[in-house]
Amino acid sequence: MRRRDFIAAVGGAAAAWPLAARAQQGERVRRVGMLRGADESDFQKERVSLFTATLAEAGWIDGRNLRLDVRWAAGDPGRMRTFAKELVDLKPDVLVAQTPAATKALQAVTQGIPIVFIGVGDPVAGGLLKNIARPEGNTTGATNYLPSFGGKWLELLKEAVPNVSRVALIFNPDISTGAYFGPIDAAASQLAIAVARMPYRDAADLDRSYRAAIALA
């Protein structure tokens, strides 16, 4: 079972296990260890239920051809380390880690069992990986927050519209952390593109920012 087969299913996304890898009758039960950094709240348990339901749709059924062992660290570093070792000692086929702390705890006790992370923000900035495009070692995962992508967005825009010389960043400063600004500014400097930041906080602000962005064209 390859670690990449878990990425799309983790956290409730659509399962991506190859049909050829589905367990056949008589095949040994596959084991998955999951270390959750959160507490065992109803919301968190629903996320785990969604994970198992998605795997079941792909033919991997907990209690039949799959065994899922879940540990809840509730943000406690000591529990995190204890549960990480406990899960590794069970010799699972793959480990699933929720939060950066859970991922690091598992990395500290195994370099052989595949680790798939979720909910870690930027795995490169967080020290989980050196290269998100080519994950090294036994760790990989999926994230929807990767500030370095900001520069890639600008590169793609330049490729699609070679004559572009100005872009507008429309954002809500009460929500945005500004983490994408640095990579975007760096790419803009290399691509000779001027960047205008246009914050908004309500519908009227958004309308003004949108009109201002159009005026840049």
Q: What is the pLDDT of residue 3?
A: 47
For the record, the structure tokens of 18 come out as 């190859």
Q: What pLDDT, on the 0 to 100 scale, is given for residue 25?
A: 47
What is the distance of C-alpha 204 from the center of its chain?
33
Q: Is 199 exposed, middle or buried (0-12, 13-18, 19+ CB in 10 A)?
A: middle
Mean predicted confidence (pLDDT) in 7-36: 59
List the beta strands (DSSP E) in 89-156: 94-98, 115-118, 139-141
Q: Is the pLDDT of residue 32 over 90?
A: yes
Q: Which pLDDT tens digit goes with each residue over 137-154?
A: 899 988 777 777 788 889
What pLDDT, on a 0 to 100 scale, did the predictor assign at position 8?
A: 44
> Alpha carbon of 203 to those of 167, 168, 209: distances in Å?
21, 17, 10
Cα-to-chain-centroid distance, residue 38: 16
Per-residue pLDDT tens digits for 60-108: 999 999 999 999 999 899 999 999 999 999 999 999 999 999 999 999 9
Q: Is the confidence at residue 211, as pLDDT, over 80?
A: yes
Which phi and psi angles does 209 have, rounded to 5°? -65, -40
pLDDT 10s digits, 35-65: 999 888 888 999 999 999 999 999 999 999 9
Q: What is the pLDDT of residues 155-194, one digit of tens each?
A: 999 999 999 999 988 888 887 767 888 889 999 999 999 9
**H helix intervals, 140-194:** 149-160, 181-191
Please give the CATH number for the structural domain made up of 3-141: 3.40.50.2300
Q: How many CA atoms lie within 13 A of 101 on its CB side?
A: 15
Give span(s): CATH 3.40.50.2300, the chain.
Answer: 3-141
- Residue 1 pLDDT > 70, yes or no? no
Asked whether 3 and 18 are in contact (CB, 8 A), the reply is: no
- Interacting residues of 16 by C-beta distance below 8 A, sequence separation 6+: 4, 5, 7, 8, 9, 58
Q: How confident is the model at residue 26 (pLDDT cuts 50, 70, 90)?
A: low
- Tokens representing 141 are 């995962």
Task: Determine the number of helices (DSSP H) and then strands (DSSP E) in the chain.
Answer: 6, 7
Rounded to 10 degrees, the C-alpha dihedral 91/61/29/96 comes to: -20
Q: Tell which phi-psi region holds residue 142, choosing left (phi > 0), alpha (psi between -120 and 50) or beta.
A: beta
Q: Are strands 66-72 and 115-118 parallel, antiparallel or unpaired?
A: unpaired
Report d(CA 179, CA 75) in Å as an integer. Answer: 24
